[in-house]
Amino acid sequence: MTKKVLFITRSAPHGHAKPREALAAMLAASAFQETVSVLFMDDGVLQLAKHQETSHLGMVNFAKTFNVMELYEIKQVYACAESLAERGFFTDNLVLPVKLIKYPKISDLITQHDLVLNF
Amino acid sequence: MILHIINQSPYQSSNLATCRKVIAKNDSLLLIEDGVIAGLLNTIYTDQMRELLTTHKVFALKADIEARGFTNRIITDINTIDYAGFVDLVIEHSLTQSWN
Amino acid sequence: MTFTILINQSSASAQAPYTALNFCKALIAKQQQIQQVFFFLDGVYNASSFNILAQDETNLTQAWQQLAGQHKFELCACVATSLRRGIIDANEAQRYDKDHFNLAKNFKLAGLGQLFEAINQSDRFIQFG
C-alpha cells in the first residue's frame, strides 16, 4: 500500500514559484501513489482562475496544465468554498471542475490521508 | 490527530487565522520560528490564542522563544518544548500539517 | 520510527533549514531513523558547495554532509528545481556544457519520484518551509 497524499496549495499564481513547482510534484506523486488529492485554499484558489494571460510576464501559464490532472488520475480535486467566496470567485470562473469543501470539513479531509504536502 | 505547525508571524501571514478555522478536536498546535510571535502576551492575538487554549493543546519551541527574547512574554498555558519534545509530538500525532 | 523530511527554503534566506537540522539531530538522539532528507524549491540551495559563510556561521551544507555521512541517510536535491537554480553535478555540467559544477558531496540530484518512494517507506513525513 502506498501512502495517501494530500497536496494543499495556498499561494496565488505567478508571484511565487511554489504553485508551479507544486503542480510538478502532484503529477510526479500520481505515478507513485495510489491516492493523490489536491486542495486549493486561501490565495491558492486563484490559481484556478479562468482567462489567465501570462505572455506579457514571460512566465509559464501553468494553469493551462491543470487539466492534465485527470489524465494523471488525480480525481479528488477540492477548493475551499469560503476562500473562493471571499475572493469574489465562483466555480464557473474556474479552469477545472472542483469539489467544494468548507473550512470545518478540511480537518476530516486531512485525516483521510497519510500525509500532507503544503505549497 | 493532526499536529498543526505554524512558522510565520500572524502579523505577516493568514496561517494562524486559517489554522484556527481548520483545527479539530484532539488536534494540537505547535508554534516554531516566527510562529512563536502568536504566543506573545498583550497582543491583538492574545485573546484568540487564549480561546484556542481552552479547547486545544498549544506548544511552542523554546529555542525560538529564547532566540527572540520572548522568555516570560509567552502566554503561560502554552507548553514550551525543546527539539526532543518536537520529535515526541510528531511521533504522537498521526500526521503533521505545516501551514507554511 | 522512520522519517522523511522535506526542506523548501534556503538557509541564506530562512530559518526553516536550521530548524530541520536541529529536528534531525533530535531524531537521531532519540534513536529514530531518517529515511531521506529531500530538498525542493529554494531548499536546493542547501546542496550547493559554493555557499561561502563567515567563520562564526554554521555552514548547513557541511552540517548535512556530516550528519548524513555519520548516520547513513540520503540527501536528495530535486533535479528539476536544482537545474533551474544552477545547482548541478558533474553529469549535468557535461550534458549542458558548463565549466563547473557545485553539487556538494553526499548530496545527489533526484527525481521527485524518489521523495515518494521514501515517503512510502516512512512512518512520518514532515516539511520545513
Q: What is the pLDDT of residues B4-55, one digit of tens each?
A: 999 999 999 999 999 999 999 999 999 999 999 999 999 999 999 999 999 9
Ordered strands of the A5-9 beta sheet = A99-101, A76-80, A36-40, A5-9, A115-118
Task: Specify whether C78 is catalytic.
Answer: yes
Interface of C with A (CB under 8 A): 6, 8, 40-42, 80-81, 111-113, 115-117, 119-120, 125, 127
Query: What local confidence, expressed as pLDDT, does residue C124 receive?
Result: 98
What pLDDT digit, counting tens, does each position of A62-88 carry?
A: 888 898 988 898 989 999 999 999 999
CATH number, domain at B30?
3.40.1260.10
Q: Where are the domains of chain C?
A: 2-128
Q: Where are the domains of chain A?
A: 5-118
What pLDDT digit, counting tens, does each position of C53-102 carry?
A: 999 999 999 999 999 999 999 999 999 999 999 999 999 999 999 999 99
Domain span at residue B10?
2-98
ipTM over cut 0.90: yes
d(CA A33, CA A112) in angstroms, rounded, equals 14
- For β-strands C2-7 and C74-78, DSSP reports them as unpaired
pTM here is 0.96
- What's the CATH number for C2-128? 3.40.1260.10
Query: What local confidence, expressed as pLDDT, does residue A81 receive?
Result: 97
The neighbours of chain A, by the rule of 3 or more Cβ pairs under 8 Å, are B, C
Would you call A109 an interface residue with chain B, using a CB distance cutoff of 8 Å?
no
- With cut-offs at 50, 70 and 90, classify the pLDDT of residue A1: confident
DSSP assignment string, C5-34:
EEE-S-TTT-SHHHHHHHHHHHHHHTTPEE
Residue of A nearest to C113 (CA): A28
Chain-chain contact of A108 with B98 (C-beta, under 8 angstroms) = no
Residue of A nearest to B21 (CA): A103
Question: Which chain B residues are closer than 8 Å to C67 by Cβ?
Answer: none
Q: Domain A5-118, what architecture?
A: 3-Layer(aba) Sandwich (3.40)
